[in-house]
Structure 1
């Protein structure tokens, strides 16, 4: 969970919230493929359920790709051929730093979704031998909190940045406490 959330946060610096929302919808597809590879899921293409699974995968990936291409950087294919004819070896889409940042952000977002999918598959395996779901969830959150603290201390060493004042940081912490923790109970 810690790796997923940190990769997601860094990816948001390079891309947009639209891409993050769209790519998050690929988590069920990635999880399905991982479960299929590990033999936890079966796909029988000749049955209705198998065809339905395939249609859902195609629709999900189509939606993610549509939003990524719609909101992503525009590639100028005609300029690419023009540069080839002139003998320049640099692709116009990679010559701009914004295009490189977008590609880096997409890779980080996909990595974030992949780590979350791996965690979902591992949860299935763990829950078969560890029946207490609430205790497992509490231990998972505690472990992720400790790991996040270690990462935060390693990244931000300035003590002034850790102080809460009457600003957006206090509002963000308050929102997390109310919306993420208190409302779950």
Structure 2
């Protein structure tokens, strides 16, 4: 299965850079899913929330393509660090892909569907879109590690670690 990535985005966020990161995983994804026919087309969009544009998935039989169109509100990305944007996009893409792969019109068997999901999870993990630096920082903070140590170990700025700590304290 081939992976193609595009973006259609406004001035807020770093979706062009993130689309390039995902596109860099296309060869590894194809190698992992070479026995699965078709194309996985991913479009990352950042649009104003007032437009109320929703994310969609659809399988186009004549093209053998699963189209995944992830839309994130610009307001959600405004002021977010690149790592925060990776988490938002990674979680949204993972959920949307799972929904799309389950399409009844797609010709894949259960093993091929699982393989697509596994290959996508691997790619998102390699990119740090899932299980990235912020996830490691959260785990370290929950284990009681000092903020400076978390910052040093993860490479996150101390201010971002402090923000994560405050958020974790508010959640508990």
User: Which TM-score band applies after superposition, normalised by the shorter structure?
Assistant: 0.3 to 0.5
TM-score (ref. length: structure 2): 0.33
Higher helix share: 1
Q: Which has the higher contact order (CA 8 A, sep 6+)?
A: 1
TM-score (ref. length: structure 1): 0.31
Computing the radius of gyration over CA atoms, which structure comes out larger, 1 or 2? 1
